A and B are shown apart, each in its own frame.
Chain A
């Protein structure tokens, strides 16, 4: 990696550490700044970026003193006073790049494909930038990380399907209505699953939630929690015609919403589509409702299918995304090597040029006898000679760098570095 200083990713996450440990190392922006300052002051890091979320704490850095970094982390203790070293993972160079790309693309998240992590990575980049701790490696890495995460989001389906029964209900509602703006839902019963779906619908933009329950007080209670409107259970049939979405989650032992009720409601609402979710067992909505042309009825098993489908789609998308991320990591590491080598080769050329100039200077006897034109020709000839002599060696260095053969690169550059 850059000038032979390794790029290291070290940290812990929900994969390796329990919440009791994670909460101990979690940091606010001021804490992040303090850590970065300290590591730079103690010359442990040349460049650094720290990502701290509720599920992970990771430090990405170009490391000057790896032993120093290890002892820095050794200071941290878990809830029982144990060192946190055993929860830490250490990744170097290409693996560190690959890991950061995966994290930012939400491929390492607790909920695969969740969008928040990208914002958190952006915050970490901003903090590091404010603290001038991004340099010639981390700066391009941060930029590339954000673009890779965006590519993953736009070129794969990783962010398209969501988890949880509430979101499964939202996905189905979206498939039917396209948008929940201007839509009204009615929650019949105040069961936990019904609440979850209703809440998810509200979060997704539902306009109004009616709540009907046998015990009116409980409707009022839930309405005040969710911002819904309690309606009398006895007038269920009237309100059925006003609802675009009906959620049934009561403990009733037989259907409380019949096909006839829905047929009448559809007539009243001039056949505008109605989407019904029956979350109860035994079922609360007569299955015959689904035979009505404009009614779409889904029960708890159907919702499970939606969740299963979401999971499958996410897994398939994750495979494609990981391939993309791996290619990008290889490309990035390659581009860093090229930048490094170009710097070294520039130094090599400059050194050769200074040797050439010195030699010309030393041959004063000869040059004094030459006119301007001849001096110019001599200059061009010697430059060309130096260039040709260097060319093969430079090619060999480039090829070794491209192949990741750092030993050969170092061996070929060593005489020039000694000279310097």
Chain B
């Protein structure tokens, strides 16, 4: 990955994170500029990814995966984390920063499947949809954590400083919407990957461990939506489904490629 634009992106997110975690260091006037800085970081990030795609022979390794997820979170921050959802930035901004930082230090290895298929127009479609979905689930789980936190404080009647946080209903609505967004994009991403694999990979691609694990996660999120839409259980239920689901997704994204073999495993 090209480092120079990423250093700018990191500087941008460090600024935004500082504004949320230690606002007194920046002061109210500079903190108020966090959102434009976040949009700037997002723009540079898009440029950096595009540059990587144009110049690298295999822009599909773990660093790119983490970077694309961070970009999704960054867009979610710039879009959502203001007005009554400003407090979300406390979690979104540092997570974005950590993901970009990790993307810069993890070793670059491309997935096995690409050695057989080479570059295909399906690749950006498959990855774009999957990482949009992952970003949606990431936002949902972050909002879910905040929901559980606010809920616990209300239940324990610890009301100090609560007015700065978003209301329970707003958090619940957003965790659901982000989950629905993630589910739709993950479904389309799995479909696109399946169509690509059917056209270009030798069998048995469907038994790839990552595909099976991802389908399990897809089913998990499907169940979460089913529970909410059919039985009406929302709030804490959606939050817990979301947090557990995203944990599984992170394992699938980072851990599984190293542990198991298969088309999605990292090769040379």
Which residues on A are within 8 Å of B, measured CB to CB? 155, 160-161, 171-172, 174-178, 270-273, 290, 293-294, 296, 298, 302, 305-306, 309, 312-313
In the complex, what's the smallest C-beta–C-beta distance from B27 to chain A, in angstroms?
10
In the complex, what's the smallest C-beta–C-beta distance from B141 to chain A, in angstroms?
20
Which residue of B28, B163, B169 contacts A176 across the interface (Cβ within 8 Å)?
B169
A residues near B260, Cβ cutoff 8 Å: none
Which residue of B28, B159, B168, B233 contacts A271 across the interface (Cβ within 8 Å)?
B233
The 10 lowest CB-CB distance pairs between A and B, nearest first, are A270-B232, A178-B167, A178-B170, A271-B232, A178-B169, A155-B28, A177-B169, A176-B168, A302-B157, A309-B159
CB<8 Å pairs between A and B, sample of 12: A160-B163, A171-B163, A174-B167, A175-B150, A175-B167, A178-B166, A178-B170, A271-B232, A271-B234, A296-B155, A298-B157, A306-B159
- A293–B148 alpha-carbon span in the complex (Å): 12
Which residue of B162, B232, B234, B236 contacts A175 across the interface (Cβ within 8 Å)?
B162
A residues near B233, Cβ cutoff 8 Å: 271
In the complex, what's the smallest C-beta–C-beta distance from A275 to chain B, in angstroms?
9
Within 8 A of A (CB), among B196-224: none
**Which size class do B's interface residues fall under?**
20 to 34
Whether B159 lies near A305 (C-beta < 8 A) is yes
Instruction: Give the A-B pair count, Cβ closer than 8 A.
Output: 56
- A294–B237 alpha-carbon span in the complex (Å): 10
Within 8 A of A (CB), among B206-263: 231-236
B84 at interface, CB cutoff 8 A: yes
Which residue of B84, B160, B168, B169 contacts A309 across the interface (Cβ within 8 Å)?
B160
In the complex, what's the smallest C-beta–C-beta distance from A156 to chain B, in angstroms?
9
- A270–B233 alpha-carbon span in the complex (Å): 7
- A178–B84 alpha-carbon span in the complex (Å): 9
- A221–B160 alpha-carbon span in the complex (Å): 38
- A176–B84 alpha-carbon span in the complex (Å): 13
Nearest B residue to A168 by beta-carbon distance? B159
- A269–B231 alpha-carbon span in the complex (Å): 11
- A172–B153 alpha-carbon span in the complex (Å): 12
Nearest B residue to A267 by beta-carbon distance? B232
**Given A175-B162, A175-B163, residue A305 in contact with residue B157 (CB < 8 A):** yes
- A298–B157 alpha-carbon span in the complex (Å): 8
Whether B235 lies near A296 (C-beta < 8 A) is no
- A102–B149 alpha-carbon span in the complex (Å): 37
B22 at interface, CB cutoff 8 A: no
Which residue of B161, B169, B236 contacts A293 across the interface (Cβ within 8 Å)?
B236
Whether B170 lies near A175 (C-beta < 8 A) is no
In the complex, what's the smallest C-beta–C-beta distance from B34 to chain A, in angstroms?
15
B154 at interface, CB cutoff 8 A: yes
Within 8 A of A (CB), among B128-184: 150, 154-155, 157, 159-163, 165-170
In the complex, what's the smallest C-beta–C-beta distance from B195 to chain A, in angstroms?
38
**Given A160-B163, A175-B163, A309-B159, residue A272 in contact with residue B28 (CB < 8 A):** no
- A119–B233 alpha-carbon span in the complex (Å): 46
Nearest B residue to A244 by beta-carbon distance? B169
- A232–B245 alpha-carbon span in the complex (Å): 47
**Given A175-B154, A175-B162, A296-B154, residue A272 in contact with residue B232 (CB < 8 A):** yes
B residues near A294, Cβ cutoff 8 Å: 234-235
A residues near B160, Cβ cutoff 8 Å: 309, 312
Interface centre among B165, B169, B231, B234 (most CB of A within 10 A): B169
**Given A178-B170, A271-B233, A271-B234, residue A290 in contact with residue B163 (CB < 8 A):** no
